[in-house]
Amino acid sequence: MLKEVLVVEGKSDVQQIAKAMEADCIMTEGFTLRKAVLKQIQYAYEKRGIIILTDPDTAGERIRRFLSKRFPNAQHAFIPREEAIANNDLGVEQASPEAIRKALESLHTHTMESSNEFTIQDIIRHGLSGRPNSVAQRDKLGALLGIGYGNSKQFLYRLNHYGISRDEFEAAILEL
């Protein structure tokens, strides 16, 4: 049983997680985030800790950003987009049990202070922006680092706010 409580978007996510492991989950039911749901998340956050595991899409990222601000010490798990696509759909509910377990092995905590370790020059120099295959490269690198997919600006933000070291970054670049 996972110590922390997983915060996911919906019922299908909970069902898929159950195939991967035993864990308590709270459903946001989309971006609605009713007061009762936020109260439930707050309680779990204070008592057991939470792990935010939202879909790797625009709506999931919007929910993640909102929850990150409200629960700054929450942990984050990311399923790479390529591992969360099936049946012409993208989401946690489409991920394999192995992909879910892998995402939960590589947790990150969002820090409000930027490390400023990485700059846009790092992104450009390594072909993560401005090239035809940049999107695919960011997706692969995000999967290796456990920070998920993001556009260039969002990817840079995650590098600087999720505790990624220069050594981790360089090793992952070499692995690409």
pLDDT value at residue 167: 96
Residue 33 sits in a domain whose CATH number is 3.40.1360.10
Q: Collect all residues with Cβ–Cβ distance below 8 Å to 51 and sequence separation of at least 6.
A: 2, 4, 5, 6, 7, 74, 75, 76, 77, 104, 107
Same domain, 99 and 125: no
Mean pLDDT lowest for which of 51-55, 113-117, 120-124?
A: 113-117
- Statement to judge: residues 106 and 118 lie in one domain: no
Does 87 lie in the same domain as 25? yes
User: What range defines the domain where residue 168 resides?
Assistant: 114-176
Residue that is written with structure tokens 């790479």 in the block: 80
Nearest CA to 18 out of 30, 29, 4, 6 is that of: 6
Domain endpoint, select from 110, 134, 167? 110
- Token couple for 169: 């970054």
Residues 38 and 51 in one domain: yes
**Based on the domain organization, do 84 and 23 belong to the same domain?**
yes
Q: What is the 3-state secondary structure (H, E, C) of 74-125?
A: CEECCCCHHHCEECCEECHHHCCHHHHHHHHHCCEECCCCCCCCCCHHHHHH
> pTM of the entire structure?
0.86
pLDDT tens for 140-171 read 999 999 999 889 999 999 999 988 999 999 99
Q: Which of 79, 110, 141 is the last residue of a domain?
A: 110
Tally of domains within the chain: 2
Tokens of 93: 């509910």
Same-domain pairing of 102 and 120: no
Do both 32 and 77 map to the same domain? yes
Sheet holding 75-76, edge to edge: 25-27, 5-8, 50-52, 75-76, 108-109
| 121, 105: one domain | no
Same domain, yes or no, for 125 and 85?
A: no
pLDDT tens sequence across 44-79: 999 999 999 999 999 999 999 999 999 999 999 999
Whether the CB-CB separation of 146 and 169 falls below 8 Å is answered with no
| C-beta neighbour count of 85 within 10 angstroms | 14
